[in-house]
Structure 1
Amino acid sequence: MSHTRTTLTRRGLLAAGVALGLGVALAACGDDKGKSGGTAGQAKPAKSGAWSYKDDRGTTVKLDSVPTKIVAFTGIAAALHDYGVKVDGVFGPTTTKDGKADVQAGDLDVKKLTVFGNVWDQFNIEKYAAFGPQVLISTTFDDKGTLWYVPQASAAKIAQLAPSVAISVFDRPLSQPLQRVWELAESLGADMKAAEVTAAKKRFEAASERLRKAAKSRPEIKVMAGSAAPTVFYVSGTNLSADLEYFKSLGVNFVEPSESAKKATGGWFETLSWENVDKYKADIIMMDDRSSALQPADITKATWKKLPAVKAGQVIPRSAEPILSYAKCAPLLENLAKAIETAKKVG
């Protein structure tokens, strides 16, 4: 995630091999070909007539018909898949080193996808051109509309091959990009009245209310959003990140690094040495579940194991880049609500 008012951007952090918003070096490359169908009942046949969609940059993309040759950032493809929209081509974390589906791939069948780039700064333009894309869809983590995982060095060439759509997840609560992807899926022919789709939205709304009640009933429970790397630990601030902003709006009591502590990362997070990992008191620790981050089971640092929340078994996963469908986001709220409801006060 980047910010125009800072010189150290999220892209810059990634490019330098440093933790991204809370992660570390990205997973290895995968390049399987094919296509994947949706889970909510395949999208309706392409509508007749022109297609248009106004994205979060204020740009309106217009095509003669509803696109069927869609290329999307993996997480967006996974979200559209949940609505029954078929995306054949992806870029971004899709497979892990052992060839299995990355957490950001959701329910996509990664063996049936055309992958143009699986790691940061990788995008096969020749393969993309041969694919014949009609539209490219990604998220944006800054207020400039920079397309996530589209390499800056080749962005102009990529833009010449197909128009792009940007969904902003920058400095706005999760509910907003969720609604935008819902609208995008509907424009692409998804059946938004399908039972699975409406049930998922109701589940999200119920989960939001559950989390609100849990936070209100247990305001003393402190939650810390963290991510681990071999040499450092990152504590995320709640501003800028869509998921944390939404959880905070529901009343969750978060550890909040000072603005001065977050300044070096443009306001995203504070970097701590493992010796200082106990700087903040927390009852629950939410840990970045992306493959780019060191997972709790693999942390061997004695200072980590001594943390009260760790000793109490009160560590839960955090989807730092949520798949933007109601089906995937509802469990995130449910898990946090349950953790708050059942947590012991240890911090």
Structure 2
Amino acid sequence: MPSSTRASQLSRRGLLAAGGVIGIGAALTACGGSDDKKKSGSAAEDSGPWTFTDDRGTKLSTKSTPKNIVAFTGTAAALFDYGIEVKGVFGPTKTADGKADVQAGDMDIAKLTILGNVWGEFNVEKYATLAPDLLVTDMWQKDALWYVPDESKAKILKLAPSAALWAAEVNMAKALQRRADLAKSLGADLTSAKFTDAKAAFEKAAARLRAAAKSKPDIKVLIGSASKDLLYASVPKMSADTLYFQELGVNFVEPKANAQGFFEELSWENADKYKADVIMMDNRSSALQPSALTSKPTWAALPAVKAGQVVPRTTEPIYSYAKCTPILDDLAKAIENAKKVS
């Protein structure tokens, strides 16, 4: 969900608030690749030419299956769940206390080369030393590469092919399928029991959420993200996760979207503009968490807050079936247990 560094894009804070899209910043001198590329530890093996068409419609082609893969942290975490390991990551990976960020999933961040940990950071020189075969990231707006800085984008894209996969404009099921498609092309075994069991569990969780929403159609859910000065109320259809929840029947608050369509900015004085029984709050390290909002009177007075019906939202899901299943189950549980308070 977006924000922009240009008028045509979303604002940085807003973008991060919504869960979406555009890259900014870092610079460097492009270095040439090396013929002596080391294996990244992925499940892929050389098997002749590799091709994959990404969500921009770009057909990628290399002489052999990419091994030296660099990816946005959350995307790398999804590939990891399919047995595909990357050499480097960019995006929220390590918290201030040195622990793994929520977007790192099950990856051992000590084994990763971190090219940038916050918005606007991307060490292109270090990227070049990895001799990358492939760069992978999310896409929240057409052709905008998530966490790839605009200022150094041209230099970055000269070093290796790039694949972009939608995190918006498609639902969660489609986003999951596309990461699975990419993982399969890179050597993942999608016939394994681990994969088929995870997909079955996801489908079971989706059925549970559908049933919960159907049993309590009057429960209204607000999608929120907090900063010091603003509460961002997100539009459900704009992100892959909440679009899917809406398709399953969840009754969401529909805020008045800004020009980009992702969210409405509410001052804390106006935080009670919308009535909600459950509030899903952005769990990313870039957002203020509910425990940091207790001093704000309008937050404390919200019916859902008073009723203890505030739950975390995984705003940028790791799109593997194993990681998305708990998200569905948690929301289903919240709706099953929710009381009408608005």
- Give me the TM-score of the superposition, normalised by structure 2: 0.90
Give the share of equivalent positions with the same residue, in percent.
Answer: 56
Secondary structure in 1 matching 2:65 = coil
1:146 to 144, 152, 162: 144
User: CA 1:118–1:302 in structure 2 vs 1: closer, same or farther (change >3 Å)?
Assistant: same
Deviation at 1:301, TM superposition (A): 0.8
User: CA 1:45–1:239 in structure 2 vs 1: closer, same or farther (change >3 Å)?
Assistant: closer
Q: Give me the CA root mean square deviation.
A: 2.1
Deviation at 1:47, TM superposition (A): 3.9
Instruction: Confirm or deny that 1:302 pairs with 2:297.
Output: yes
Long gaps (5+) in structure 2: 21-37
**What is the alpha-carbon distance in structure 2 between the residues aligned to residue 233 and residue 22 of structure 1?**
11
Deviation at 1:180, TM superposition (A): 0.4
> Which string of whole-angstrom CA distances, capped at 9 and with x for unpartnered residues, describes residues 129-180 of structure 1?
111000000011112x211100001111101100100101221111111100
**What is the alpha-carbon distance in structure 1 between the residues aligned to residue 39 and residue 285 of structure 2?**
22
Long gaps (5+) in structure 1: 25-34
1:163 to 150, 161, 164: 161
> Which string of whole-angstrom CA distances, capped at 9 and with x for unpartnered residues, describes residues 11-70 of structure 1?
xx11xx55624379xxxxxxxxxx999xxxx85451421111110111111111111100
Tell me what 2:281 maps to. 287
> Which string of whole-angstrom CA distances, capped at 9 and with x for unpartnered residues, describes residues 171-200 of structure 1?
111111110000111111111122222111
Please list, as runs of the form range in 1=range in 2, the aligned pairs for 1:235-274 lying within 5 A after superposition: 235-258=233-256, 262-264=257-259, 266-274=260-268
> Which string of whole-angstrom CA distances, capped at 9 and with x for unpartnered residues, describes residues 99-144 of structure 1?
111111111111110011111111111111111000000011112x
Give the residue type in structure 2 aligned to 1:106: G
Secondary structure in 2 matching 1:233 = strand
Tell me what 2:72 maps to. 73
Runs of 4+, deviation exceeding 6 Å: none
Q: Is the 8 A contact 1:142 1:170 kept in 2?
A: yes
Bigger shift: 192-201 or 220-229?
Answer: 192-201
Q: Is the 8 A contact 1:287 1:296 kept in 2?
A: yes
Tell me what 2:32 maps to. none
Q: Is the 8 A contact 1:23 1:229 kept in 2?
A: no
Instruction: Confirm or deny that 1:338 pairs with 2:304.
Output: no
Secondary structure in 1 matching 2:258 = helix
Aligned residues: 323
**What is the alpha-carbon distance in structure 2 between the residues aligned to residue 173 and residue 334 of structure 1?**
17
- Give me the TM-score of the superposition, normalised by structure 1: 0.89
> Which string of whole-angstrom CA distances, capped at 9 and with x for unpartnered residues, describes residues 218-245 of structure 1?
1010000001111111110112111111
Tell me what 2:108 maps to. 109
**What is the alpha-carbon distance in structure 1 between the residues aligned to residue 271 and residue 173 of structure 2?**
31
Deviation at 1:306, TM superposition (A): 1.3
